[in-house]
Amino acid sequence: MEIRELPLPAAEMKPKYTDESQLGFGRIFTDRMLLVEWKAGQGWVDGRIQKYGPFSMDPAALVLHYAQEIFEGLKAYKWADGSIVLFRPEMNARRFNHSAERLCMPTIPEEDFVAGIEQLVRLEKEWIPSAEGTSLYIRPAMIAVEPVIGVKPSDHYYFYVILSPVGAYYSQGFKPTKIMVEDKYVRATPGGTGEAKTGGNYANSLKAGLEAKKKGFDQVLWLDGVERRYIEEVGAMNMFFAYGDTIVTAPLEGTILNGITRDSVLTLAKKLGLKIEERRIDVNDLFKDIRDGKITEAFGSGTAAVVTPVGLLGYRGETATVADGGVGKITQTLYDTLTGIQTGKIPDTFGWIRKV
């Protein structure tokens, strides 16, 4: 797939951020974006890298009414030696296509997905921060733009990629968060779209998130949508519990996101000699095990969230503090190892790093 680079005069470029410690998450965007269209009968056409800015879209565009949309999230890092690297981008390409199939959207060849991102990142390399805890967040997305008031797969799509220099996703940084087990709303049900990275899943989560915030929690931990009994995942991360040297996480049964950080954490944990159990966790057992001190650590994983410690859980008006409520040893080691590999401080023996 050929991607044209449209000229961008220096006078039209934005002033860059000056303080990497003040980046926040997802509010600053770089000068350019990638845009490729898919048209029925033609396939992928007119790939270009152009000035970052608004799309022109018909008010009847299908995405605006029926949410035919998918997205991804990955990061680029600038190493101390000046190298620019991506972390496991081919996994995002694969998952993007998996989401596309679920939403009846066209798939994109994995190598084109990765090559397009690399071309854009190379052009925007001056925007990549390098201070500890910072990176360039990459957001590929696809939207249905055919203008029609009818529920059907679109015959026209925009695949686009935007870039945002970021710091920590949670404003408190690497500190224990408080999560509330959700017992009123559900995120996903078997046969639904829980495993797809599609906007509707997140729109659906907003109400529960707001109610949890009002009660003093940072995030919602979803239960399965059938029995409302088994732990699934948090709004933007997969969830892990340490029972001593055994790490337990929910299995991939179609209702939770197949997290790339989840997979990386499980691989690292095995390498560190920890035992892994992917199994259903009953929320009542979970609270008992936290109170009995059997659960020694809790943490979440995600591209934005990296490895985020969880210090306190709430459920039906009660709370339980995990161990001493601080950052556990395994959580810290996994965070250090993962970010060490991503930033080039620890050699990558897994083939996860892709130099741009």
Could you tell me the sign of the dihedral formed by the alpha carbons of 328, 331, 335, 337, in that order?
positive
Site for ligand PLP (CB under 6 A): which residue of 30, 193, 198, 238? 238
Instruction: Give the closest residue to 315 by CA, choosing from 184, 203, 137, 151.
Output: 184
Separation between Cα atoms, residue 155 and residue 346, nearest integer Å = 46
Site for ligand PLP (CB under 6 A): which residue of 146, 218, 232, 233? 233
Give min distance, CB of 201 to ligand PLP, in A.
Answer: 7
Site for ligand COI (CB under 6 A): which residue of 193, 301, 303, 342? 303
Separation between Cα atoms, residue 33 and residue 55, nearest integer Å = 11
Separation between Cα atoms, residue 146 and residue 169, nearest integer Å = 33
Residue 238 touches which of ligand PLP, ligand COI, none (Cβ within 5-8 Å per kind): ligand PLP
Separation between Cα atoms, residue 288 and residue 335, nearest integer Å = 27
Buried/exposed 130-154: b ≥16 CB within 10 Å, e otherwise:
eeebbbbbbbbbbbbbbebeeeeeb
Chain length of the chain: 356
Closer residue to ligand COI in complex, CB, 137/287 = 137
Site for ligand PLP (CB under 6 A): which residue of 116, 167, 302, 328? 302
Site for ligand COI in 219-248 (CB under 6 A): 236
List, in order, residues 6 or more apart from 336 with CB less than 8 Å away.
none
The span of 53-61, 82-90, 224-232, 301-309 binding ligand COI (CB under 6 A) equals 301-309
Tell me how many residues contact ligand COI (CB under 6 A): 5
The two three-digit tokens of residue 147, written as one number: 């203008």
Instruction: Give the closest residue to 315 by CA, choosing from 250, 240, 226, 231.
Output: 231
Give min distance, CB of 236 to ligand PLP, in A.
Answer: 4
Give min distance, CB of 146 to ligand COI, in A.
Answer: 26
Residue 233 touches which of ligand COI, ligand PLP, none (Cβ within 5-8 Å per kind): ligand PLP
Element holding 152 (H helix, E strand): none
Give min distance, CB of 132 to ligand COI, in A.
Answer: 19
Q: Does 266 bind ligand COI (CB under 6 A)?
A: no
The two three-digit tokens of residue 275, written as one number: 């035992």
Site for ligand COI (CB under 6 A): which residue of 302, 309, 311, 328? 302
Give min distance, CB of 257 to ligand PLP, in A.
Answer: 4
Separation between Cα atoms, residue 274 and residue 318, nearest integer Å = 31
Do residues 345 and 77 make contact, with C-beta atoms less than 8 angstroms apart? no
Could you tell me the sign of the dihedral formed by the alpha carbons of 62, 65, 70, 74, in that order?
positive
Site for ligand COI (CB under 6 A): which residue of 221, 281, 304, 322? 304
Give min distance, CB of 205 to ligand PLP, in A.
Answer: 8
Quick note: the x/- pattern for ligand COI over 89-128, rule CB under 6 A, is ----------------------------------------
Q: Among all residues, whose Cβ is closest to ligand COI?
A: 73
Q: Does 237 bind ligand PLP (CB under 6 A)?
A: yes
Site for ligand PLP (CB under 6 A): which residue of 84, 86, 161, 236? 236
Site for ligand COI (CB under 6 A): which residue of 73, 140, 176, 225? 73
CA angle 160–165–167, rounded 5-degree value: 130
On the 0-12 / 13-18 / 19+ scale of CB atoms within 10 A, 106 is middle
Residue 339 touches which of ligand COI, ligand PLP, none (Cβ within 5-8 Å per kind): none
- The contact set with ligand PLP (CB under 6 A) reads 73, 233, 236-238, 257, 259-262, 301-303
- The contact set with ligand COI (CB under 6 A) reads 73, 236, 302-304
